[in-house]
């Protein structure tokens, strides 16, 4: 663990960090009534936390051990800004950590960040409990088996597309081009249908305003892109 902490401090810049309130348990998993404020740091290696930003990390959860990051229903803690991180400890036992955020925006940002860095983890859960296990049953579905798989679906692929998300322009352009190639036949068929309707008497309000004209322009752009790809594979494009 010390080696991992040293690696984190030297190599892995934080994906997100900030103060959160962590909910502790005691005894046989019984919930305490209060949250404790700690400073959390999420990297591509682990989720760690400490008393302050400058103090030594008091604990960490390896990123590969995270199984889900989900919201907790409001009635569980009297707040709609609580999330849960479900993970496996070093002994392979399932654990749940409850974290309270200051507002819904912060909650969604943390959920999004956690899901993005753990999306490729093996063993991601397909279901979870949005409530808590209090007394002898889950508050959400009243199941008495604490190890029950869950009564709601996880949302591991639901993330925010934030303005500061890194954007690979070349990759995005290639994805759009591949999509256009995939629907080229459908576009041509649609243009033929629209052209047939126009010839049969569909009204046109002015030059260049018919839908088939817009499709014709798009298909021409696609032909130009295909030609550019062929030229590019033979050598640098002409200036």
pLDDT tier, 177 (very low <50, low <70, confident <90, very high otherwise): confident
> Is 186 found in the same domain as 122?
no
Tokens 């002994």: give the residue.
91
Query: Among the listed ranges 47-51, 108-112, 140-144, 211-215, which one has the minimum average pLDDT value?
Result: 211-215
Helix (H, G, I), strand (E, B) or coil at 27: coil
Domain contains 74:
yes
Contacts of 61 (CB under 8 A, 6+ apart): 46, 47, 48, 85, 87, 97
Which run of H or of E encompasses 176?
Answer: helix 169-182
Domain contains 219:
no
> Is 171 found in the same domain as 71?
no
Q: Number of folded domains in the chain?
A: 2
Query: Among the listed ranges 21-30, 136-145, 175-184, which one has the minimum average pLDDT value?
Result: 21-30
**Cβ 125 vs Cβ 147: under 8 Å:** no
pLDDT tops 90 at residue 72: yes
Domain contains 234:
no
Return mean pLDDT, the chain. Answer: 81
CATH number, residue 118: 2.30.29.30
pLDDT tops 70 at residue 212: yes
Lookup: tokens for 76: 């569980």
pLDDT at position 138 is: 93
Tokens 């803690």: give the residue.
77
pLDDT at position 10 is: 47
Domain contains 217:
no
pLDDT tops 60 at residue 9: no
Domain contains 170:
yes
> Which of 133, 153, 173 marks a domain boundary?
153
Domain contains 173:
yes
Which run of H or of E encompasses 225?
Answer: helix 211-234
Domain that holds residue 170: 165-196
- Summarize the confidence of residues 35-52 as an average pLDDT: 89
> Is 107 found in the same domain as 175?
no
Between 111 and 214, residue with greater pLDDT: 111
> Is 44 found in the same domain as 127?
yes
pLDDT tops 90 at residue 112: yes
pLDDT tops 80 at residue 146: yes
C-alpha span between 210 and 202 (Å, rounded): 10
Domain contains 237:
no
Which residues share a beta bridge with 49?
Answer: 40, 59
pLDDT tier, 29 (very low <50, low <70, confident <90, very high otherwise): very low
Beta strands in the chain (DSSP E): 16-26, 30-42, 46-50, 59-62, 66-71, 82-88, 94-100, 127-128, 133-134, 137-138, 152-153
DSSP string, 149-165: --SEE--TT-----TTS
Lookup: tokens for 123: 């063993």
pLDDT tier, 59 (very low <50, low <70, confident <90, very high otherwise): confident
């Amino acid at each position: 663990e010390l080696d991992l902490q040293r690696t984190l401090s030297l190599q892995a810049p934080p994906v997100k960090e900030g103060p959160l309130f962590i909910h502790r348990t005691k005894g046989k998993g019984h919930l305490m009534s209060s949250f404790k404020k700690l400073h959390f740091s999420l990297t591509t290696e682990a989720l760690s936390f400490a008393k302050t930003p400058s103090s030594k990390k008091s604990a960490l959860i390896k990123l590969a051990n995270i199984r889900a990051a989900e919201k907790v229903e409001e009635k569980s803690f009297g707040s709609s800004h609580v999330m849960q991180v479900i993970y496996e400890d070093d002994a392979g036992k399932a654990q749940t950590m409850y974290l309270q955020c200051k507002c819904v925006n912060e909650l969604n940002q943390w959920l999004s960040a956690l899901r993005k860095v753990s999306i490729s983890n093996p063993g991601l859960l397909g279901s979870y409990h949005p409530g808590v296990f209090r007394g002898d049953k889950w508050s959400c579905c009243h199941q008495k088996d604490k190890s029950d798989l869950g009564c709601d679906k996880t949302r591991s692929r639901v993330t925010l597309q934030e303005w500061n998300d890194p954007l690979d322009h070349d990759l995005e352009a290639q994805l759009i081009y591949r999509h256009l190639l995939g629907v080229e036949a459908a576009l041509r068929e649609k243009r033929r249908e629209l052209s047939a309707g126009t010839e049969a008497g569909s009204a046109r309000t002015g030059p260049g305003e018919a839908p088939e004209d817009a499709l014709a322009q798009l298909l021409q752009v696609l032909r130009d892109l295909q030609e550019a790809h062929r030229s590019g594979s033979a050598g640098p494009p002409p200036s």
